[in-house]
Structure 1
Amino acid sequence: MADRCDWCGEDPIYISYHDTEWGVPEYDSRALWEKLILDGFQAGLSWITILKKRENFRAAFHGFDPNVIADWGEAEIARLLADPGIVRHRGKIEATIGNAQAWQRIEAEQGFDRFLWDYVGGAPIRNLWDSMAQIPAETALSRQISKDLKKAGFKFCGPTIVYAFMQAVGMVNDHLVTCPAHDRCVALAKG
C-alpha cells in the first residue's frame, strides 16, 4: 500500500495488522476487552511481540472470554505463568482476571462497548496528521478514560496504553492523511 503509515515498517505481520485491523472501528464488547488486555500486556514491550503471540494468548485465555476468566484463581495463574507462548507476568495475568470482573460490571450496567464509545459520541475522532511526529502518545481524553477505567477496577490501563488502544480500535483515526487506510476507516465508522 503506497504511502501507508510508516510505523509498520516492512514486517509482514505489522503490515497486515496496519492494513486490516489498526484503526478499524470495533464495536463488539468482548473484542474491545481483548484489545485492551493485549495493550496492557504490551506495557514495557513492543507491539510486534504481542502480535506474534496473539494466537497463543487467545488459546491460553480461552478466546478472551471475560465471563470465563473472571472466575479464575491461582491454578489458572500458575498454568499461565508456565506457558512460554505468552508474556508470563504475574501482575498482568492477575490484572486480566480483575479486568474481566470489571468488564462484567460495566457490561451489565451499560455495555462495555457503549461505555467506551460514549467518550467519542459513538463516532471516531478523525485526526488529519501529515506525519508520525504529530501523533501524541496520550491525550486529555485518554487520561480521562484511563482514570475512569481504573475507578471501575481496571489495571494496566494508563493513558498511553489507553491511547494506543483507542487508535487500535478506531475510536481515534490516527492513520496519516496520505495513508489509504485513513479514508477506509472513516467509511467503516458507524454514525
Structure 2
Amino acid sequence: MSQTMDLVDLSDLLGLVAGQDKRAFKSLYSATSAKLFGITLRILKDRDLASEALQETYIKVWQNASRYDEGKSRPITWLVALARNTAIDSLRRREPARMGGDNDEDALERVADPQFGRVDPAHRQTLKGCLEELDEVQRRCVILAYCEGYSRAELGKATGKPEATVKTWLRRGLLRLKSCMDRE
C-alpha cells in the first residue's frame, strides 16, 4: 500500500464523499488514483482506455460512496473492486465474446491479487497446473468468465452451446479447480 494511503483514513474520506464533500473527494482521488489506474491499465492494456475507466470509477465512487459498508470490506478493497469491475465492463463493451485471444498467463495476471499486483509464483504454478487439468473449452470458459467478466450468455454464443451447458461447465470447472488447489 502506498505511503499516501497509510497517512489518510480512507473510511473517513468515503464517509465525507458520501455527504458530497468535494475536498474529501479530491483527497481520496489523490490517495488512491495511482493504484486504481494500475489496476485498470493491467486489465485494459491501453492507457487511454484505462484513464476512461478510472474516470468512470471515480464517478461511481462519487455517486455510491454512501453504499460503502465498513463492516464488509476495507475501503481500498471496495475501491479496487469498483475499478476492476469498471475496467472489465469497459473491456466487454469493446470486445466481442471470443474463445481465443489472450493466453492463460495474461489472464492470470488480470486476476492477480490487487494488493500485491501479481500472482504469487507458487500459486501461479499450482493454478496453471490445475487449469491444465480442465479440457480446453472448459478452461477458456472459466478464464473468460472469471478473468474477463464474460456472462454465461456471451460464453454460450461464443461456444455455440446453451447457457445451461456453459453454467454446468463453469460449475464443474470451478469444483475441479478447487479440488486440485486443495490437493496442492
TM normalised by structure 2 equals 0.28
- Choose between structure 1 and 2: higher helix proportion: 2
TM normalised by structure 1 equals 0.28
Question: Which structure is higher in RCO with an 8 Å CA cutoff and minimum separation 6?
Answer: 1
Q: Which has the larger Rg?
A: 2
